[in-house]
Amino acid sequence: MKITEGLRESISVMGGNKIRAVLTILGINFGVGCLIAISVIGLAFRDSVGSEVGRYGSTLLWVQVDGNSYLKGESRILMDGRDIKFFKQALPGLQSSGTLFSETYTAAYMGESKEAQVLGVGPGHFEMFDSKIEKGRTFIEQDISLRKRVCVIRPDIAARLFKDEDPLGKVIRLSERNYTVIGVTERANNMLLSDGSDNNTIFIPDSLVGAKIWGGNFVKYWIYLFKFDSIENVEIAEERINSYLEKKYGLLRDLPRFRVQRLDSFVGMIDRILNIITTLVTVIAAISIVVGGLGIMNIMLVAVTERTREIGIRMAVGATKTDIVVQFIIEAIVLCLIGGATGVFFGAVLAAVVCSILEWKFMLSFVIVAGALGISTFIGLVFGIYPAWKASRLMPVEALRSDA
């Protein structure tokens, strides 16, 4: 029997029993959908991480107090201005650096007010986090060193406080003090790596926040960020910072007090987490596909019993055992392929929705689709063989005698 005949037969059989066909393919459908979704989302995620790392050049490094080393309630040692000064001198290839202080204040302008996150940052901050300025300018060295009361604001807070007015040069009130707006940034994208700001954030020079938090001129830092020109210099910096801090502050119960983290190793960690998630989903999908395959086998066994007389008729007019086997295997494969194809569709739709929400690039490769359909065909083959063999084993007379 030709494959085309088998296909035509299968479709006519399924057309006669649509609900059964739909219920039968659900398992395969779900499994394949999961596989497609996770592989597309995984790919898109890696792509987005890759492009962000590309943006930062993966040469970002930060040093922060390692909270894990301290007992609860134990007071922590922070870095001070001298440490930063040392770093700036001792680290080759340093392009920019800065720190982050975060507080929440009420921002007010002409009777409008809004709770806002206030972030104290250095002059290199906007470059480091690739935040573009839409209007005005960013901080310059004098703003920081002279502790000028200036601020850069995000577009949402600008719109909230200033409506249609031009915010540049206007004065907003933050925590009993006035700050002049010198710049408005572009909208913040939903990035994997961010400074923790959103579209309601107000940036002020870190010296001001530091002084506010530490109550004097002597600013301390719990986190400090560096950006370098090359990955070699990142490695040098990691080593030098570690040995400097260990020599100066010593170990705490044999544990370092500070932790140096590199963006590239951070990405590797995210990758490992993603791998674990991918493995889990793949296992669930595999189980679902196998259970779906068993469902197909079950329904094929029922079909063989129901259609014993048909098998007898076909044998009486000249169908060989091979013809019967081929017919039932094709039927099982067609069921699985329909399940697989609809699974590809639903999985791709799910992935497209997730990607569009997270602003990731949606990529559905031919290899993934072909793989999913290949798996479906394989499952149909594996779970179709036994029922098909059972069907072909009948003698024509016995099959014709059946009442079914």
Verify binding: residue 7, another protein, rule CB under 8 A.
Answer: no
Cα–Cα distance measured from residue 390 to residue 354, given in angstroms and rounded to the nearest whole number: 45
Residue 309 or 390 having the CB closest to another protein: 309
Verify binding: residue 13, another protein, rule CB under 8 A.
Answer: yes
**Minimum Å distance from CB 345 to another protein?**
28
Verify binding: residue 11, another protein, rule CB under 8 A.
Answer: no
Residue 119 or 394 having the CB closest to another protein: 394
Residue 81 or 396 having the CB closest to another protein: 396
**Minimum Å distance from CB 2 to another protein?**
7
**Minimum Å distance from CB 318 to another protein?**
2
**Minimum Å distance from CB 348 to another protein?**
34
Residue 143 or 310 having the CB closest to another protein: 310
Residue 1 or 290 having the CB closest to another protein: 1
**Minimum Å distance from CB 32 to another protein?**
29
**Minimum Å distance from CB 300 to another protein?**
17
Binding span for another protein by CB under 8 A among 32-40, 205-213, 257-265, 389-397: 389-397
Residue selected from 7, 193, 252, 313 as contacting another protein according to rule CB under 8 A: 313
Verify binding: residue 305, another protein, rule CB under 8 A.
Answer: no
Verify binding: residue 319, another protein, rule CB under 8 A.
Answer: yes
Residue 15 or 54 having the CB closest to another protein: 15
Verify binding: residue 323, another protein, rule CB under 8 A.
Answer: yes
Residue 352 or 400 having the CB closest to another protein: 400
Verify binding: residue 298, another protein, rule CB under 8 A.
Answer: no
Contacts 24+ apart (CB under 8 A), 157-162: 157/107, 157/114, 157/116, 157/199, 157/200, 157/201, 157/202, 158/184, 160/112, 160/114, 160/200, 161/107, 161/108, 161/109, 161/112, 161/113, 161/114, 162/109
Residue 85 or 401 having the CB closest to another protein: 401
Verify binding: residue 316, another protein, rule CB under 8 A.
Answer: yes
Verify binding: residue 404, another protein, rule CB under 8 A.
Answer: no
Verify binding: residue 3, another protein, rule CB under 8 A.
Answer: no
Verify binding: residue 5, another protein, rule CB under 8 A.
Answer: yes
Verify binding: residue 318, another protein, rule CB under 8 A.
Answer: yes
Residue 125 or 314 having the CB closest to another protein: 314
Cα–Cα distance measured from residue 158 to residue 201, given in angstroms and rounded to the nearest whole number: 10
Verify binding: residue 309, another protein, rule CB under 8 A.
Answer: yes
Residues found near another protein in the complex (CB under 8 A): 1-2, 5, 12-13, 16, 309-310, 312-323, 395-397, 400
